């Protein structure tokens, strides 16, 4: 008697569930990693961005790392109180403040990011380099297609399903 394997679920819902579970697992380890360096996630985001992008306007930092105006202000305040960042006037816009790493901030950011990178590399060790490259490429492709689809299309599909009485 031959036992057939159950059909694979290739639905968008199953894809989302698998990605959600993987994200949760990675996020848990990422948070542990960042917090092991006695840095909060918001502060880590600010330090990482300034380390890799150089001085940035406060509002641009918040936009790029997904923090509200209040959250970015609080994160920069905490880093400034530790003398890891400094706020300066924008060279051409008097309404804008630019945040930069101090010398001590650059040393701290470099150490924290290097340690976090080692931790994240360790979490991905279950995939070969080629598999990581493929996964990155596919996730970017998925993200781009979802962005192109947009909220309007999602709403339209929901309305169609409601009209048919499916949901």
Q: Please, what is the average pLDDT of the chain?
A: 91
pTM of the model: 0.76
**Rounded distance between C-alpha atoms, residue 109 and residue 154, angstroms:** 40
Per-residue model confidence as pLDDT tens digits over 39-57: 999 999 999 999 999 999 9
Chain-centroid distance, C-alpha 20: 14
Looking at the predicted structure, is the pLDDT value of residue 1 above 70? no
| Mean pLDDT, rounded, for 1-25 | 85
Inter-residue contact 127 to 40 (CB < 8 Å)? no
- Per-residue model confidence (pLDDT) at position 95: 86
Greater confidence, 17 or 1? Answer: 17
Inter-residue contact 92 to 98 (CB < 8 Å)? no
């Amino acid at each position: 008697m031959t036992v057939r394997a159950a059909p694979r679920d290739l639905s968008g819902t199953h894809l989302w569930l698998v990605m959600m579970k993987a994200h949760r697992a990675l996020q848990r380890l990422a948070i542990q990693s960042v917090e092991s360096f006695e840095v909060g996630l918001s502060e880590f985001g600010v330090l990482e961005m300034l380390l890799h992008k150089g001085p940035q306007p406060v509002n641009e930092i918040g936009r790029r790392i997904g923090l509200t105006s209040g959250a970015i202000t609080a994160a920069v305040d905490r880093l400034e109180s530790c003398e890891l960042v400094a706020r300066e006037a924008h060279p051409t816009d008097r309404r804008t403040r630019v945040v930069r790493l101090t010398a001590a901030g650059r040393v701290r950011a470099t150490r924290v990011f290097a340690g976090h990178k080692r931790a994240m590399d360790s979490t991905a060790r279950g995939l070969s380099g080629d598999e990581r490259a493929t996964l990155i490429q596919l996730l970017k492709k998925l993200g781009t297609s979802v962005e192109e689809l947009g909220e309007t299309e999602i709403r339209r599909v929901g309305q169609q399903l409601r009209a048919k009485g499916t949901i």
